[in-house]
């Protein structure tokens, strides 16, 4: 792709980041990025995890200040105004995490960022606020009851509400410009939710606002945006019109190289053994019903489904973190359905949870202590020498980059934290790995190494159950993929190598997801 082709843009930009850089500890999140947003356009910001998209958005939104460089809003420098200040200047931000308070009503949430308009003569405007909220939503073709509690809204509608609020609140407050910054708003939406959202965004653009849309789904970007900006490792590596650019080309730009054929180390595919390591039948619990699945030794089985499909719940239940109401789980010839986690771990089950920081690692613990935690199941006194040996071998095995094995995990990058969270199980010699989105929030390099580690686990005759939101990953890694829909298994798709083209498989999986 040619470097930054001149795209005719009338007038001055709404907001402009000039040579901004930002560091967080040891990571260089952004380095010398320049980006302008004009009225009446949607800019798609794409890049791999950790490429700096969210950081750039936070700087543009005035939530954080750049270390060097400046952010200019309509000719005036913008400096760490925070969210409430940003709203008055016309900036609406929707972050990855939903920023609505569930135990407040829709209209209360709507006006939360602008306390002053909640009152007239010192009294709450109980009559007019809900009406204003209803009208604002209607302007975007979004019907909702302003008196409803946000907790009772379906997920899609909460996301709509956030977007309407981000657009309308600055207007109500009399801001002169309108900027909408969206960080991965579609990740957890249903397919029709994505359609509705896109329509909404087009009408917002046509009303004269500037929109920056962050998503890692390329096809969505291409369908929606006017202009694309590609970030890689904190640097701006490409900028182009959205018309006439191919997905492959963008992918190459995002990852920085042609995708290697053996990115998923397909050549290391292990021989699948005849007997199941784990076999669940008729398994039901909160979030999943009537699940039958088997994972054989050496086999990598994928688990696909929407965020609400219950695949994370199923993984947790298999590891014993959630109670099961019915069914059996035979793990290495023992029915563990009602056994506690520690007896499953003792039998050789390893689990990598979806939220790394909340349940995968203890940030204040060191690598040595994290590994050591798995070694105390059958001994009372800590074996310091043994811990050290195990930690060093795991650091070596997974190529963890750390100052020392005594360094707290909080000082490691996300990818390295994930490698430790995964590697610590090796001391238990697992027979089954249950991995829930193992590459979530992990940079490209570490990703490849995690895929390699998964292959090696299978080659050591362990079974692997790999739940993932990324279809490419599932197709690249798995021998077969189980698809979940609304808590039930809806399909089983074989992805043996050279079976079929990956586009067909992807199509088939998506077809069974919704």
Partner 1 sequence: MTMSDVKRQRSDAAPADMTALSSLSRWTSGLNRRARTGWQTLFPYFSLLGIIIIFAIAAPRFLSFGNAVNIASQSSILLLIALGSALVILMGSIDLSVGATASLAGVLTATAVPSLGPWALCLAVLVGAGVGIVNGLLLTVVRIPSFLATLGTMSVLSGLSLIVTDGVPVGINDDRFIELASFRFLYNIPALVLWAAAAFVICVLLASLTRVGRYIYAIGGGERVAAVSGLPVQRYKFYAFMLCGCLSALGGGLLASWLQSGSPNGADGYMLSAIAAVVMGGIPLNGGHGGIGRTLLGVLVIGVLANGLNLCGVGPYVQSVIQGVVVIVAVSFSLDRSKFSIMK
* Binders of partner 1 in range 40-59 (CB under 8 A): none
How near is the Cβ of 406 to partner 1 at its closest, in Å?
Answer: 4
How near is the Cβ of 140 to partner 1 at its closest, in Å?
Answer: 33
How near is the Cβ of 374 to partner 1 at its closest, in Å?
Answer: 6
Query: Quick check: 361 binds partner 1 (CB under 8 A)?
Result: yes
Q: How distant, in Å, are the alpha carbons of 265, 268, 460, 465, 479 from that of 273? A: 19, 15, 11, 15, 12
Q: Would you say 319 or 447 has its CB closer to partner 1? A: 319
How near is the Cβ of 284 to partner 1 at its closest, in Å?
Answer: 22
CB neighbours of residue 368 within 10 Å: 21
CB 405 within 8 A of CB 367: yes
CA–CA distance, 75 with 88 (Å, rounded to integer) = 16
* Binders of partner 1 in range 364-393 (CB under 8 A): 364-366, 368-369, 372-374, 376-377, 379-382, 384, 388, 392
Query: Quick check: 64 binds partner 1 (CB under 8 A)?
Result: no
How near is the Cβ of 153 to partner 1 at its closest, in Å?
Answer: 25
Choose one: 12-20, 67-75, 292-300, 359-367; the region binding partner 1 (CB under 8 A): 359-367
Q: Would you say 103 or 364 has its CB closer to partner 1? A: 364
Q: Would you say 121 or 381 has its CB closer to partner 1? A: 381
Q: Would you say 308 or 343 has its CB closer to partner 1? A: 343
Q: Among residues 360, 430, 463, 487, which is the contact residue for partner 1, using CB under 8 A?
A: 360
**How many degrees, rounded to 5, is the angle at CA 242 between CA 241 and CA 245?**
95
* Widest CA span in the chain: 77
CA–CA distance, 473 with 264 (Å, rounded to integer) = 8
CA–CA distance, 455 with 449 (Å, rounded to integer) = 10
Q: Would you say 109 or 417 has its CB closer to partner 1? A: 417
* Binders of partner 1 in range 444-473 (CB under 8 A): 452, 456, 459
Q: Among residues 74, 187, 294, 410, which is the contact residue for partner 1, using CB under 8 A?
A: 410
Query: Quick check: 403 binds partner 1 (CB under 8 A)?
Result: yes
Q: Would you say 91 or 421 has its CB closer to partner 1? A: 421
Write each residue from 324 to 343 as x if it is in contact with partner 1 (CB under 8 A), else as -, in one continuous string: ----------------xxx-
Q: How many chain residues touch partner 1 (CB under 8 A)?
A: 54
Q: How distant, in Å, are the alpha carbons of 67, 95, 228, 229 from that of 19? A: 10, 23, 18, 15
How near is the Cβ of 426 to partner 1 at its closest, in Å?
Answer: 13
Query: Taking the alpha carbons of 326, 329, 330, 335 in that order, is the dihedral positive or negative?
Result: negative
Please give the DSSP secondary-structure letter assigned to residue 162. Answer: H
Burial of 494 per CB tally in 10 Å (0-12, 13-18, 19+): exposed
Choose one: 5-13, 128-136, 156-164, 358-366; the region binding partner 1 (CB under 8 A): 358-366
Q: Would you say 210 or 415 has its CB closer to partner 1? A: 415
Residue 164 phi, psi dihedral angles, 5° rounding = -60, -45
Query: Quick check: 405 binds partner 1 (CB under 8 A)?
Result: yes
Q: Among residues 29, 400, 482, 489, which is the contact residue for partner 1, using CB under 8 A?
A: 400
In three state form, how does the secondary structure of 164-186 look?
HHHHHHHHHCCCCCCEEEEECCC
CA–CA distance, 262 with 476 (Å, rounded to integer) = 9
CB neighbours of residue 357 within 10 Å: 14
CB neighbours of 251 closer than 8 A, spacing ≥ 6?
Answer: 218, 259
Interface ranges with partner 1 (CB under 8 A):
267-268, 319, 321, 340-342, 344-346, 351, 353, 358-366, 368-369, 372-374, 376-377, 379-382, 384, 388, 392, 395-397, 399-408, 410-411, 424, 452, 456, 459
């Amino acid at each position: 792709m040619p470097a930054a082709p001149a795209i005719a843009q009338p007038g001055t930009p709404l907001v402009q980041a000039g040579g901004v850089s930002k560091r967080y500890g040891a990571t260089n999140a952004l380095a010398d990025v320049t980006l302008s947003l004009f009225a009446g356009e949607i800019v798609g910001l794409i890049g791999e995890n950790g490429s700096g998209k969210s950081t750039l958005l936070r700087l543009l939104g005035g939530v954080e200040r750049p270390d060097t460089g400046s952010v200019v809003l309509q000719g005036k420098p913008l400096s760490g105004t925070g969210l409430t200040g940003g709203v008055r200047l016309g900036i609406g931000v929707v972050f990855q995490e939903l920023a609505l308070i569930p135990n407040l009503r829709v209209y209360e949430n709507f006006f939360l960022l602008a306390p002053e308009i909640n009152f007239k003569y010192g009294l709450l405007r109980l009559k007019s606020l809900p009406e204003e909220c209803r009208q604002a939503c209607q302007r975007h073709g979004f019907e909702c009851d302003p008196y409803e509690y946000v907790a009772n809204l379906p997920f899609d509608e909460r996301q709509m509400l956030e977007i309407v609020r981000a657009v309308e609140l600055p207007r109500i407050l009399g801001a002169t410009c309108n900027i909408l910054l969206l960080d991965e708003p579609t990740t957890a939406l249903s397919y029709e939710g994505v359609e509705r959202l896109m329509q909404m965004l087009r009408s917002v653009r046509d009303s004269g606002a500037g929109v920056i849309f962050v998503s890692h789904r390329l096809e969505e970007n291409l369908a929606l945006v006017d202009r694309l900006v590609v970030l890689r490792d904190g640097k701006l590596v490409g900028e182009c019109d959205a018309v006439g650019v191919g997905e492959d080309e963008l992918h190459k730009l995002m990852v920085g190289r042609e995708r290697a054929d053996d990115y998923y180390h397909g050549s290391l595919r292990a021989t699948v053994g005849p007997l199941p390591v784990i076999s669940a039948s008729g398994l039901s619990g909160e979030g999943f019903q009537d699940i039958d699945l088997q994972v054989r030794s050496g086999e990598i089985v994928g688990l696909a489904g929407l965020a609400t499909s219950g695949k994370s719940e199923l993984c947790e239940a298999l590891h014993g973190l959630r109670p099961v109401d019915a069914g059996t789980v035979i793990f290495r010839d023992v029915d563990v359905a009602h056994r506690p986690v520690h007896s499953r771990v003792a039998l050789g089950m390893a689990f990598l949870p979806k939220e790394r920081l909340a349940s995968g690692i203890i940030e204040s613990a060191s690598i040595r202590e994290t590994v050591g935690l798995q070694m105390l199941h059958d001994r009372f006194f800590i074996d310091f020498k043994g811990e050290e040996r195990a930690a060093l071998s795991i650091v070596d095995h997974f190529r963890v980059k750390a100052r020392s094995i005594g360094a707290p995990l909080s000082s490691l990058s996300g990818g390295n934290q994930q490698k430790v969270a995964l590697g610590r199980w090796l001391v238990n010699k697992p027979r089954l790995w249950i991995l829930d989105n193992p590459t979530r929030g992990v940079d490209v390099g570490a990703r490849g190494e995690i895929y390699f580690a998964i292959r090696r686990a299978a080659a050591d005759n362990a079974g692997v159950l790999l739940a993932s939101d990324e279809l490419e990953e599932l197709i690249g890694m798995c021998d077969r993929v189980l698809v979940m829909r609304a808590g039930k298994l809806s399909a089983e798709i074989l992805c043996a190598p050279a079976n079929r083209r990956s586009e067909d498989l992807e199509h088939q999986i998506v077809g069974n997801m919704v």
